[in-house]
Structure 1
């Protein structure tokens, strides 16, 4: 069975760099260069950060606290960067909150799965 947590550290770092790069581009590129998606803006934020958190949890399952802090911190940083730049982007605390919701949902699912698999193994 394929286990991302067993990948060599350089591969994990490359995967995370790609995830962060794509998310940074989606968050900081001029709005007219972005793909159009017909979802509620806040759900787009939550989904994007849930994908980032999922990649992190799959590769570093024992580092949940650091993953939460890192992903939430990255989401807040992106909003500050959007507020500081042009290109039709603007920082919004509600977007940072939606980012956080996506991260926390993944963390909750991870904890639930971990609890259920521990009970099943005993």
Structure 2
């Protein structure tokens, strides 16, 4: 798969960095469109969800090295997912259900796609812990903001 991607990039006259830059610009335009046409909290949640998918779709030789344990990264990313979807108005139950489904399916996706990544149940567990943290933060912020408004 990597070789076929490289051949496509070569055909287009692009290297990996140019392709990633083009993808980032495309996502930025998508985010701008979402902000203009959809309520901005929902646009932020959609953009975050797309960014997660884009990040896990990068081949391992192109993905940035985050250093330390990738479990921390999974936890933080999915805490953001849960927080943003709650902020956009999705219920806690639906946020958790969709988040768990997204976490599990993202690990399955990484396991079956030939991008040099592997699915890991421990990553999915870290994702679920992140979801719970994000839901807790959203609940605390909602309680705090009601108390002082």
Q: Which range, TM-score by smaller chain? A: 0.7 to 0.9
Please point out which of 95, 108, 118 is paired with 1:90: 118
Structure 1 residues 113 and 15, CA, compared in 2 at 3 Å: closer, same or farther?
A: closer
- The normalised TM-score by structure 2 is 0.65
Q: Is the 8 A contact 2:87 2:138 kept in 1?
A: no
Q: Is the 8 A contact 2:74 2:130 kept in 1?
A: yes
1:14 aligns with 2:43: yes
1:101 aligns with 2:129: yes
Q: Is the 8 A contact 2:42 2:88 kept in 1?
A: no
Shift of 1:41: 1.1
The CA RMSD measured in Å over matched residues stands at 2.3
Tell me what 1:4 maps to: none
1:51 aligns with 2:80: yes
Structure 1 residues 8 and 54, CA, compared in 2 at 3 Å: closer, same or farther?
A: farther
Structure 1 residues not aligned, in runs of 5+: 1-6
Secondary structure at the aligned position of 1:33 is classed as coil
| Cα displacement string for residues 48-74 of structure 1 (whole angstroms, at most 9, x for unaligned residues) | 1111111112121x6111111111110
| Higher Rg | 2
Q: Is the 8 A contact 2:83 2:137 kept in 1?
A: no
Tell me what 2:109 maps to: 81
1:69 aligns with 2:97: yes
- The normalised TM-score by structure 1 is 0.78
Q: Is the 8 A contact 2:42 2:85 kept in 1?
A: no
Structure 1 residues 16 and 110, CA, compared in 2 at 3 Å: closer, same or farther?
A: closer
